[in-house]
Amino acid sequence: MPKINAATINEHKEQTRTALLDAGAAAFVRSGLAETSIGTLADDAGIARTTVYEYFPNKEAVLAALIEERVPPVVERAISDLPEVGPAERLSEILRRGFQLVAEFPVEAMLMFRVSRELPKPERDQSWSVFDVIREEMMSLCAAGIARGVFAAMDPTTLGTIVADHFVGGIDELAARTDEDAEDIIETRISFLYHGLGPAD
């Protein structure tokens, strides 16, 4: 059982909270939310079960904290410093980065796109709001692509939703497959979307 040593009470509390989050991440990915108990989190973190409640009211709150604190930096990497190119190329780059980040950060991907589905809808919607920055960028690019005649003429919100769903589907697929399949999945998904967005002949 790991021990937490700190010079001050505040450091001890921060270390304990981090240990709980680390334990939660490992347990949720391993067993899912429903099959993970508070006792498991306490044992894995090396603390008493009652101590868990000093930091989180329930295991759902542990999962929500993990998503809200650890997923946004990964999401930001998918859209930061994008090249100044056309809507189709920029959208493809977002998808490529997002898919590659799944392989680089598999725990965060599993928490966000798989385990979070076990949360009650209000908490699930709140957790998924960390994905809004990518969704909004996709919506904007879809609108720009339609306006320029690069993408098929349709309601921009509808197209943006289709693209976002395709992106999430790809992440879900990558999270369920082995590393050696990743590149094929990435290229197939991007190619399918890229060719499917174009205007009808």
Note the pLDDT tens digit of each residue in 42-82. Answer: 999 999 999 999 999 999 999 999 999 999 999 999 889 88
Percentage of the chain lying above the pLDDT 70 cut? 93
Residue extent(s) of CATH 1.10.10.60 domains in the chain: 9-68
Q: Please give the CATH superfamily to which domain 71-197 belongs.
A: Tetracycline Repressor, domain 2 (1.10.357.10)
* pLDDT confidence tier of residue 14, bands split at 50, 70 and 90: very high
C-alpha 27 chain-centroid distance: 17
Long-range pairs, 138-141, Cβ under 8 A, ≥24: 138/91, 138/94, 138/163, 138/164, 138/167, 139/164, 141/87, 141/90, 141/91, 141/94
Report pLDDT digits (tens) over 91-104: 989 988 988 888 88
Residue extent(s) of CATH 1.10.357.10 domains in the chain: 71-197
Residue 188 has pLDDT above 70, yes or no: yes
Residue 16 has pLDDT above 60, yes or no: yes
CATH node for 9-68: 1.10.10.60
* pLDDT confidence tier of residue 1, bands split at 50, 70 and 90: very low
In order of 25, 91, 119, the CA distances from 98 in angstroms are 20, 11, 23
* CA quadruple 42, 48, 53, 56: dihedral sign: negative
Report pLDDT digits (tens) over 118-148: 999 998 999 989 989 999 999 999 999 999 9
Instruction: Please name the residue that has the structure tokens 């040593």.
Output: 5
Taking a C-beta distance cutoff of 8 angstroms, is the pair 75, 138 a contact? no
Q: Which pTM does this prediction carry? A: 0.84
| pLDDT for residue 6 | 63
Of 2-16, 113-127, 131-145, 169-183, minimum mean pLDDT range: 169-183
